[in-house]
């Protein structure tokens, strides 16, 4: 049985009543859709560091580089308590096999970016990072992270989910035993996915894999993983996808009839013009891959990088 993706999450997004006012911030996409495909590892920094529920609300103060976490009315400074707890918690999370984290936006503890921080004049600026979120991201610089609000943007959602699934496959394929053969197999399957995100990384990673024998395995894997995560973080665009679709079409040069070629070109062009979503040309290509049993394309993760039920390629 395949392992489930484990995803860290701000506890209140799951609907648990852990907020300062005793409420929650349940996110329906997270619980009702994403929840079918991942196993959540909930983290509520404010409750877990011992501040209780309900509690006084708090905010960030000072400079964005070294903010303080202070209660809004009584001005109690919880910075040290939170930092000490967060440093221990991220060490514990090392053993959870997380493939990413979904943070609660705007929170002085859990917000990933643009959190309100009050300067010495008491004026808020959206330049802060939640105290736990910052320590988490510094500790796990390669892990995909997102916020609840940003996940409602279809492109950011697709990008985040593509990354967590890629990271899961990377871990599964390598397993405990590292081998150059496994890395080459992984790379081959992910070539077109990489090309759809970053032609530059596609070339660099191709060279790295071709030169695999000249590098100690440990160094090779860590370099590859950095490039993989960097590449997938760059968003796909219509132009990059069209390039990949045309590239795939080249594999059927001999098999497709003139009429089939024309139809595929038309469908790709409709996608390029924004009339149809990516799922349309992909479905047609998948049909040809199956019909003509194209061995290279049949292995390409690009054709199904995440479960179709998530409908991530259905927007035009």
Residues that bind ligand SF4 (CB under 6 A): 10-12, 18-19, 44-47, 104, 107, 109-110
Please, which residue, 135 or 297, has the CB nearer to ligand SF4? 135
Please, which residue, 14 or 192, has the CB nearer to ligand SF4? 14
Query: Smallest gap, in angstroms, from Cβ of residue 75 to ligand SF4?
Result: 19
Q: Is the C-alpha dihedral spanning 118, 120, 123, 127 positive or negative? A: negative
Please, which residue, 45 or 281, has the CB nearer to ligand SF4? 45
- CA distances (Å), 182 to each of 97, 220, 229, 231, in order? 20, 12, 18, 20
Sheet containing strand 145-147, strands side by side: 38-43, 5-10, 98-103, 145-147
Query: Smallest gap, in angstroms, from Cβ of residue 310 to ligand SF4?
Result: 24
Please, which residue, 46 or 158, has the CB nearer to ligand SF4? 46
Query: Smallest gap, in angstroms, from Cβ of residue 138 to ligand SF4?
Result: 17
- The SS3 of residue 115 is strand
Both tokens assigned to 305: 């990088």
User: How many C-beta atoms surround the C-beta of residue 149 within 10 A?
Assistant: 16
Query: Smallest gap, in angstroms, from Cβ of residue 212 to ligand SF4?
Result: 42
User: How many C-beta atoms surround the C-beta of residue 14 within 10 A?
Assistant: 19
Query: Smallest gap, in angstroms, from Cβ of residue 45 to ligand SF4?
Result: 5
Please, which residue, 30 or 248, has the CB nearer to ligand SF4? 30
Please, which residue, 139 or 180, has the CB nearer to ligand SF4? 139
CA-to-CA distance for 109 and 300, rounded, in angstroms? 40
Element (H, E) at 67: strand 66-71
Please, which residue, 151 or 244, has the CB nearer to ligand SF4? 151
Query: Smallest gap, in angstroms, from Cβ of residue 271 to ligand SF4?
Result: 38
The angle at the Cα of 24, spanning 22 to 29, to the nearest 5 degrees, equals: 175
- CA distances (Å), 299 to each of 4, 41, 145, 293, in order? 21, 31, 28, 11
Taking phi first (over 0 means left), then psi (-120 to 50 degrees means alpha), and beta for anything else, what does residue 264 get?
alpha
Query: Smallest gap, in angstroms, from Cβ of residue 163 to ligand SF4?
Result: 22
Continuous H helices in 144-210: 154-174, 180-197, 199-210
């Amino acid at each position: 049985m395949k392992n489930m993706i484990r995803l860290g999450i701000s506890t209140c997004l799951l609907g648990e009543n852990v907020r300062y006012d005793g409420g929650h911030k349940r996110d329906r996409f997270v619980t009702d859709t994403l929840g079918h495909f991942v196993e959540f590892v909930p983290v509520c920094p404010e409750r877990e560091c011992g501040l209780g529920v309900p509690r006084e609300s708090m905010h960030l103060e000072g400079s964005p580089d070294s903010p303080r976490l202070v209660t809004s009315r009584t001005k109690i400074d919880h910075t040290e308590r939170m930092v000490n707890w967060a440093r221990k918690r991220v060490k514990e999370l090392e053993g959870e096999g997380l493939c990413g984290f979904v943070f609660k936006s705007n929170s002085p503890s859990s917000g990933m970016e643009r959190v309100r921080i009050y300067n010495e004049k008491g004026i808020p600026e959206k330049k802060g990072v939640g105290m736990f979120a910052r320590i988490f991201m510094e500790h796990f610089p390669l892990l995909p992270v997102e916020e609840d609000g940003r996940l409602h943007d279809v492109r950011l959602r697709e990008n985040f989910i593509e990354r967590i699934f890629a990271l899961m496959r990377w871990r599964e394929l390598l397993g405990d035993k590292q081998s150059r053969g496994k890395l080459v197999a992984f790379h081959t399957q992910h070539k077109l996915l990489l090309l759809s995100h970053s032609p530059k990384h596609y070339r660099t990673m191709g060279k790295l894999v071709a030169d695999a024998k000249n590098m100690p395995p440990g160094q090779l894997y860590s370099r590859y993983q950095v490039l993989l995560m960097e590449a997938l973080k760059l968003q796909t665009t219509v132009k990059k996808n069209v390039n990949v679709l045309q590239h795939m079409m080249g594999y059927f040069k001999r098999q497709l009839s003139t009429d089939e070629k024309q139809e595929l070109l038309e469908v790709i062009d409709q996608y390029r013009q924004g009339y149809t979503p990516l799922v349309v040309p992909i479905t047609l290509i998948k049909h040809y891959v199956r019909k003509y049993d194209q061995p290279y394309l049949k292995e390409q993760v690009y054709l199904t990088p995440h479960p179709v039920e998530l409908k991530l390629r259905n927007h035009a």
